[in-house]
Structure 1
Amino acid sequence: MVSEDITKVLTQRPLGLVFDIDGTLSPIAQTPDEAKLYPGAAGYLQRASKFAHVGVLTGRAVADGARIVNLEGLTYIGTHGLEWCDGLPTTHPVQLLPEAVPFLEPGKELLDLAEKELKPKIPGLVIQRKNIGGTIHYRLADDPEAARQLILNTLKEPAARLNMHIDEGKRAVEILAPLTINKGKALRRFVEHFNLKGVIFAGDDRTDLHGILEIERLRQDGYAAHAIAVQHADTPPAVLEHADTIVQGVEEMVKLLEQITIDVSRTNA
């Protein structure tokens, strides 16, 4: 059974269901390429898409997020909102926000520097390139905290010179365009794009906090909106503080997704 608050949102039409991937519908993997949806998640997403607008909102590039989910009929929003695709990128064009274009080359230059300067010094470092910037994963480093400091110290000055922004996730350093685009603004765009009356958003990490806070603002604006936080040992406290519902880990999130799918099917009957 889902909570009464979630049920109220699920009765709204048009309805939106928006999910982060890593740590939400996919267990955190040792490397980005190893990530897979939790068993059953894809089927529930596909069923839900018959009754709701389903979005995948990820820090990964659209192509990478779509590779993992691999379902047609969903909206894929990548790089924290800089990319948008109305279906799988193999069949639909990926739209890049115009204001992000000037940061294509600076982002590439900064990641080239990371490849040259950091990879030889940090065994196990994984550099994940995106259309704009990318993510440097140090989860496999022998000393993750020392690796983190070396990454930040190496990239701080070049990032400032190239006008790129540095942020952090779980055992990862993000290279971002210095734009006010984030998962919250992307979520708002999704709601307005589909003229939604109700929306549920689920995430687990620091960058998902923007989406969770946007849920609060959407409620203030009269929408039926609900935020779900997936709790792990390293989930930022602010994510848990501002969420409406907290579930323990990806397995519990996928069980809740199953119940949401059942409920949304019933409300459409």
Structure 2
Amino acid sequence: MTITVAVSNPTLFSLAVPKPPPDSTGYITILRKKFLKKLETSGGGGGGGGGGAKINAWVDSMRASSPTHKSAASLTETQDQNSWIIHHPSALGMFEQITNASNGKQIVIFMDYDGTLSPIVEDPDRAFMTNEMRDAVRDVAKYFPTAIVSGRCRAKVCNFVRLSELYYAGSHGMDIKGPAKGPKNKKGNQAVLCQPAREFLPMIDEVYKALIEKTKSIPGAKVEHNKFCISVHFRCVDEKKWTVLAEQVRTVLSGYPKLRLTQGRKVLEIRPTIKWDKGNAIEFLLESLGYANAKDVLPVYIGDDRTDEDAFKVLRNRGQGFGILVSKTPKETNASYSLQEPSEVMYFLQRLVEWKRSLL
């Protein structure tokens, strides 16, 4: 059975829940937040004025999230790291606490792909996961409903992961499909299809072609078509060319007020303006699995990027489940726990499987 959702009024899907309380940790001043706020308030797509300020905000944000040189850690940086770890402890070190919280509940696993299941690489087309990681994800899916939630297009993520028993949410959750085979979920559904931004597809195609043309003169720039959104990768672009790249992107977006610009790790992302993100995606998947208002569920979301914060916030707002941020450095986050790199994610998944098998 397939459920198709066409959203004509996206505001119906916005979460009517209070915002999470301010983080009481307060130990680290992370300047990136200031730059991102400038990025958001400067607007995403169309509109004529403010071009210079908009470009400056974008480039500031690009620099803040992409340090080109890493100096030796000072004493203050070490103290900040230690303070951050206290409030976002390792999910491996707190494994017993995590499993204890799942007593009497169904764990549901959500994971980003790039930087979480595979390392971040210069060529996004070569972001391959290891066979060992694939085995770990396959084993997890035997015991827990498991979903990959990525900014990539769903077909590309499916091709990387190659596991038909998973749920896949591509384009930041704007393209969701469930496993065609395997046990039915609590609602009796097998395949789940949600594409709330279908009307934007022709527009996305137009912008993609325009960006390819505009950026072809900038060495290292790569434009990726993710079906319902577009990624402009600048990981391999000389920092001196970032302003030029941002200007080219702004020129294209100026004619498309229904599209907005957001930012991930060394990538500018163009998306439809509808209220739909990774947080909405996990809400949709939990509802599809029959856990919309259930108390007997423990959602776990593992991700490394700013776009994953939308999912972390949803879990924090629900007061149910928790996020795990994959990062070696302190970041402002709504996640409860941390892991340093994909290898630790794999080890966490393996331990989860071993724990479940021991119960059975």
Q: TM-score, normalised by structure 1?
A: 0.87
Task: Tell me the secondary structure at the aligned position of residue 33 of structure 1.
Answer: helix
1:229 and 2:325 aligned:
yes
Corresponding residue of 1:206: 306
**Distance apart, 1:96 and its partner CA:** 4.8
> Letter of the aligned partner of 2:234 in structure 1?
Y
Q: Distance in 1 between matches of 2:125 and 2:160?
A: 9
**Distance apart, 1:93 and its partner CA:** 7.4
Is residue 27–residue 38 contact of structure 1 (8 Å, CA) maintained in 2?
no
Task: Tell me the secondary structure at the aligned position of residue 197 of structure 2.
Answer: helix
Corresponding residue of 2:149: 57
Is residue 151–residue 171 contact of structure 2 (8 Å, CA) maintained in 1?
yes
TM-align CA RMSD: 2.2
Of all paired residues, the percent bearing the same amino acid is: 22
Task: Tell me the secondary structure at the aligned position of residue 175 of structure 1.
Answer: strand
Per-residue CA deviations over 1:51-106 (Å, capped at 9, x if unaligned) read: 110011111111011111110111001111100111379xx978352x41221122
Per-residue CA deviations over 1:188-233 (Å, capped at 9, x if unaligned) read: 11222213411111000110111111110122xxx3x021110045
Corresponding residue of 1:218: 318
C-alpha change, 1:110 and 1:146, in structure 2 (3 Å) is farther
Task: Tell me the secondary structure at the aligned position of residue 209 of structure 2.
Answer: helix
* Larger Rg belongs to: 2
Corresponding residue of 1:166: 261
Corresponding residue of 2:51: none
Corresponding residue of 2:355: 263
Structure 1 residue corresponding to 2:244, chosen from 147, 150, 162: 150
C-alpha change, 1:232 and 1:39, in structure 2 (3 Å) is farther
User: Which moved further from structure 2: 42-51 or 15-24?
Assistant: 42-51
1:193 and 2:288 aligned:
yes
Q: Distance in 2 between matches of 1:13 and 1:195?
A: 13
Structure 2 residue corresponding to 1:101, chosen from 198, 208, 211: 198
Task: Tell me the secondary structure at the aligned position of residue 49 of structure 1.
Answer: helix
Aligned length: 254
> Letter of the aligned partner of 1:212 in structure 2?
F
C-alpha change, 1:33 and 1:12, in structure 2 (3 Å) is farther
Is residue 175–residue 228 contact of structure 2 (8 Å, CA) maintained in 1?
no
Q: Distance in 1 between matches of 2:147 and 2:110?
A: 4
Q: Distance in 2 between matches of 1:25 and 1:15?
A: 19
Q: Distance in 2 between matches of 1:160 and 1:96?
A: 29
> Which runs of structure 1 show a deviation greater than 4 angstroms over 4 or more consecutive aligned residues?
none
Per-residue CA deviations over 1:214-262 (Å, capped at 9, x if unaligned) read: 110122xxx3x021110045x7x223xx221111111112111111121
> Letter of the aligned partner of 2:133 in structure 1?
A
**Distance apart, 1:184 and its partner CA:** 0.9
**Distance apart, 1:264 and its partner CA:** 2.6
Q: Distance in 1 between matches of 2:103 and 2:161?
A: 26
Q: Distance in 2 between matches of 1:113 and 1:232?
A: 36
Task: Tell me the secondary structure at the aligned position of residue 187 of structure 1.
Answer: helix
C-alpha change, 1:149 and 1:265, in structure 2 (3 Å) is farther
Unmatched 5+ stretches in structure 2: 1-91, 182-189, 292-296
**Distance apart, 1:114 and its partner CA:** 1.2
Is residue 207–residue 252 contact of structure 2 (8 Å, CA) maintained in 1?
yes
Is residue 83–residue 94 contact of structure 1 (8 Å, CA) maintained in 2?
no
Q: Distance in 1 between matches of 2:108 and 2:194?
A: 22
> Letter of the aligned partner of 1:104 in structure 2?
L
Q: Distance in 2 between matches of 1:88 and 1:232?
A: 36
1:134 and 2:221 aligned:
no
Structure 1 residue corresponding to 2:168, chosen from 62, 76, 86: 76
Unmatched 5+ stretches in structure 1: none
Q: Distance in 2 between matches of 1:88 and 1:27?
A: 28
